[in-house]
Every structure is written in C-alpha cells, then in structure tokens.
C-alpha cells in the first residue's frame, strides 16, 4: 500500500481525530486543517481542528474556522493525530511533542523538504506547491465528496502558498487542481475579497514605516527589511501585519536573497528568507534551527535585532 492509501484507509475508519498545524498559521496550514476536518465530519467522524494561535482576520472567512481551538482546550487527546503543513511536532507550539505519548497514532502530511518524517504514517512530498495538494489526493482516496466549503479551504491554501500562483513551486498540477476546485464551488469572490482587497490599514502603515529600513549587501544580491517592536507598537500593528513584507526585498532586480527580520517579545527574532534562483534558503535557515523550502524558509533566533541581522546576512552571503 502507498502512503496515500494507508492514510486514506486509516482516516476512513477513524472515529476520533485531531487535525493540528503550525503556529502563526498561514493559508495552507488553515486551509489544509479545515478541509480535512470538514471532510471527516461530513463522514460522521469526530474531528477537532487545533491551532495554538488565533486565526488571523484575513482567514476568518474560511468555512469552519470558528471551530479551531488551542491545544490547551482539547479535553481528551484523540487516539489519532494528523499533523498538516508542519516540519516537526514542535512547529505546533512549544511542548506539543508531548502529545506524541498521549496519542496512539500520528499521521504527517506535509510538503516541506525539511520535514523530519516524525509520523507513524508519512505523506511528505516537496514537489507539492501546498500541503493542500496532498490533502486533496487523500480526500479523493477516502473517498469524500468535495463540498464548496472544502473547495474554498483548499483553493485558499493553493493561492497563498504559491503567492497567487506566481512562485516556482506552482506547477501544472497546481493549476489543474485550482481549476477543479473552482468547478467544485470554491467561493472565489469571498477569497478575493479577504486575501487581496481587505488589507488592514495597519499593514499598509507598517509597510510605509518599514520600507526605509531597506538595506542591500553583497553587490545588491542580498536585501532585507527589519521590523522592530517599537515600530509595531507605534503603529499598533500585529506581527501578522508583517506577512508578505519579505517579498519587497526579493522583488528588486539583481537581488537573489530577500530577508525580513521581525523582533518578537522575549528577546527572539523571527527571520523570513526568500530566494529567486540559486540559493537554497532552507539550508541557510537550517543553520539557525529553522527550515522550510528551497525558495522560502524561516527560523527564529535568540538575540538582539542587530546581532541577528549580521549573522543571517553573513550566512546568506556565504550561500551566494
Ligand atoms: P515564513 O517566512 O513565511 O514564516 O515561512 C516560510 C516557510 O518557512 C514556510 O513554509 C514555513 O513553514 C517555514 N518556516 C518558517 N519559520 C520556520 C521555523 O521556525 N522552522 C521551520 N522548520 N520552518 C519554518
Ligand atoms: Mn505553512
Ligand atoms: Mn505550506
């Protein structure tokens, strides 16, 4: 049996499932979580959707998003845990790997090259543009009917992880699936409004405040922006409002690596890394305990903003 078949067979007979994904949730994480939870519920399976962080405003249109609860609110840990879009168990939040001892089986569905294959059953394919592509193949095998609600969740995941179908990870398979999901009732007008036409004012004000920090090095091949706590506080912006800012340094002609540094509370700095054609930013992020994909990766580093910038820029320069 292939991994897809074993996973589909396990899900088809499961009674009680938790679908879990990573902190600071994005469209693929939420879309994949909800599509699977909705599909299982449709079959009468008890499925709880779990995320340690709240659903950002821009994703509050996703069907079923109101049913997502944090790990602490899960009264009884189900015997089957499905982790989606997560390289390892700790990506679901600090201490989450303890759930491993409290559950019978873990299924791991993901598309990150740096995935540690932590599951009892693993469906990991880094050629998939989004975890949602893999979720769709599993749903077809169970089988479940793809409702408009499920299609909306999966389409959102594809659109966000491919940067609106622009990035290198977007393949003919991705485009075919997007078309299929449109046919299956994905609510494009709702998706369009929430993802692209409803930006909070704070995120545009944050862009204005952060663009002056643009710095280039290595003959203009590395470029970065920094977001300090002070800037966030002055504007009243949330960390999620910085989402997408890393695309500005990367989009500059001649730049190979674009970076975004976000100062977090507790002396931590979150780094987003993007590349165009040459540098494997997954390998650069891995040097600092992070991971992701060849062209998009991230890590969180302890230290003050200036020190972290110096370290990561040097590592990016070495990788050129
Ligand atoms: P972003 O920069 O948008 O937060 O993340 C880019 C990619 O890198 C995403 O696919 C994300 O899952 C991955 N990523 C971001 N931060 C981390 C991290 O701290 N650890 C790991 N393993 N992956 C990360
Ligand atoms: Mn993700
Ligand atoms: Mn993803």
State pLDDT tens for residues 185-201: 999 999 999 999 999 99
Q: Is the CB of 152 under 6 A from ligand 1?
A: no
ipTM of predicted assembly, 2 dp = 0.95
Residue 215 is predicted with a pLDDT of: 98
- Tell me which residues have their CB within 5 A of the ion that is ligand 3: 28, 85, 131, 161
Distance (Å, whole) CA 308 – CA 287: 13
Q: Is the CB of 300 under 6 A from ligand 1?
A: yes
Q: Is the CB of 86 under 6 A from ligand 1?
A: no
State pLDDT tens for residues 228-269: 999 999 999 987 889 899 999 999 999 999 999 999 988 999
Is residue 238 left, alpha or beta, with left meaning phi > 0 and alpha meaning psi from -120 to 50?
beta
- Cα angle for residues 294, 295, 300 (degrees, 5° grid): 85
- Give whole-number Cα distances, 73 to 50, 124, 144, 215, 217, in Å: 9, 28, 28, 43, 46
Distance (Å, whole) CA 126 – CA 110: 8
Please report which ligand is nearest the Cα atom of 298: 1
Please report which ligand is nearest the Cα atom of 292: 1
φ and ψ of 217, to 5 deg: -145, 175
Average pLDDT over residues 212-238: 96
Residue 154 Cα to ligand 2 middle (Å): 13
Helix (H, G, I), strand (E, B), or coil: what is residue 249? helix
Residue 238 is predicted with a pLDDT of: 86
Q: Is the CB of 8 under 6 A from ligand 1?
A: no
Please report which ligand is nearest the Cα atom of 243: 1
Helix (H, G, I), strand (E, B), or coil: what is residue 78? coil
Residue 219 Cα to ligand 2 middle (Å): 31
Residue 144 is predicted with a pLDDT of: 96
Instruction: Quote the tokens at residue 73.
Output: 């609110």
Residue recorded with tokens 């899960």: 74
The whole-chain average pLDDT of the chain stands at 96
State pLDDT tens for residues 75-92: 999 999 999 999 999 999
> pLDDT-based confidence at 51, cuts 50/70/90?
very high
> pLDDT-based confidence at 97, cuts 50/70/90?
confident
Average pLDDT over residues 207-218: 98
Residue 272 has pLDDT above 90, yes or no: yes
How many of the other CB atoms lie within 10 Å of CB of 66?
10
Give the architecture-level CATH label for domain 201-318.
Roll (3.10)
Residue 292 Cα to ligand 1 middle (Å): 5
What is the residue with the minimal CA distance to atom 24 of ligand 1? 298
Q: In 104-196, where does DSSP find H-type helix?
A: 131-141, 148-161, 172-183, 188-196
Please report which ligand is nearest the Cα atom of 29: 2
- pTM for this prediction: 0.94
Residue 95 is predicted with a pLDDT of: 84
Nearest ligand 1 atom to the CA of 22 is 12
Q: Is the CB of 282 under 6 A from ligand 1?
A: no
How many of the other CB atoms lie within 10 Å of CB of 105?
15
Sequence ranges of the chain with CATH classification 3.10.310.30: 201-318
State pLDDT tens for residues 150-196: 999 999 999 999 999 999 999 999 999 999 999 999 999 999 999 99
The CA R_g of the chain, rounded to the nearest whole Å, is 19
Average pLDDT over residues 212-232: 97
Q: Is the CB of 114 under 6 A from ligand 1?
A: yes
Residue 243 is predicted with a pLDDT of: 87
Sequence ranges of the chain with CATH classification 3.90.1640.10: 3-196
3-196: CATH number:
3.90.1640.10
Residue recorded with tokens 């976000």: 262
Contact 23, 53 (CB under 8 A): yes
**At a CB cut-off of 8 Å and minimum separation 6, what does 278 contact?**
256, 320
Residue 239 is predicted with a pLDDT of: 78
- Tell me which residues have their CB within 5 A of the ion that is ligand 2: 26, 28-29, 85
Q: Is the CB of 247 under 6 A from ligand 1?
A: no
């Amino acid at each position: 049996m292939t991994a897809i078949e074993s996973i589909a067979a396990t899900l088809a007979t499961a009674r009680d499932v938790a679908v879990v994904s990573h902190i600071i949730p994005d469209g693929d994480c939420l879309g994949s979580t909800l599509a699977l939870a909705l599909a299982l519920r449709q079959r009468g399976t008890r499925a709880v959707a779990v995320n340690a962080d709240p659903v950002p405003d821009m994703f509050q249109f996703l069907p079923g998003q109101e049913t997502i609860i944090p790990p602490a609110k899960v009264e009884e840990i189900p015997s089957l845990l499905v982790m989606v879009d997560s390289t390892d168990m700790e990506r679901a939040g600090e201490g989450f790997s303890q759930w491993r001892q409290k559950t019978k089986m873990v299924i791991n569905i993901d598309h990150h090259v740096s995935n540690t294959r932590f599951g009892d059953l693993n469906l990991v394919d880094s050629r998939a543009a989004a975890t949602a592509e893999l979720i769709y193949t599993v749903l077809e095998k169970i089988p479940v009917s793809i409702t408009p609600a499920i299609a909306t969740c999966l389409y959102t995941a594809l659109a966000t992880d491919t940067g609106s179908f622009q990035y290198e990870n977007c393949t003919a398979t991705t485009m075919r699936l997007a078309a299929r999901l449109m046919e299956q009732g994905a609510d494009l007008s709702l998706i369009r409004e929430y993802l692209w036409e409803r930006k909070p004012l704070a995120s545009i004000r944050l862009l204005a405040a952060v663009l002056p920090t643009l710095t280039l090095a290595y003959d203009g091949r590395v470029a970065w922006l920094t977001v300090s706590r002070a800037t966030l506080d002055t504007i009243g912006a949330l960390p999620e409002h910085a989402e997408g800012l890393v695309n500005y340094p990367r989009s500059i002609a001649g730049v190979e690596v674009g970076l975004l540094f976000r100062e977090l509370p507790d002396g931590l700095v979150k780094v987003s890394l993007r590349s165009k054609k040459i540098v494997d930013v997954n390998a650069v992020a891995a040097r600092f305990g992070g991971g992701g994909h060849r062209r998009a990766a991230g890590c969180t580093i302890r230290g003050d903003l200036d020190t972290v910038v110096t370290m990561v820029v040097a590592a990016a320069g070495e990788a050129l």
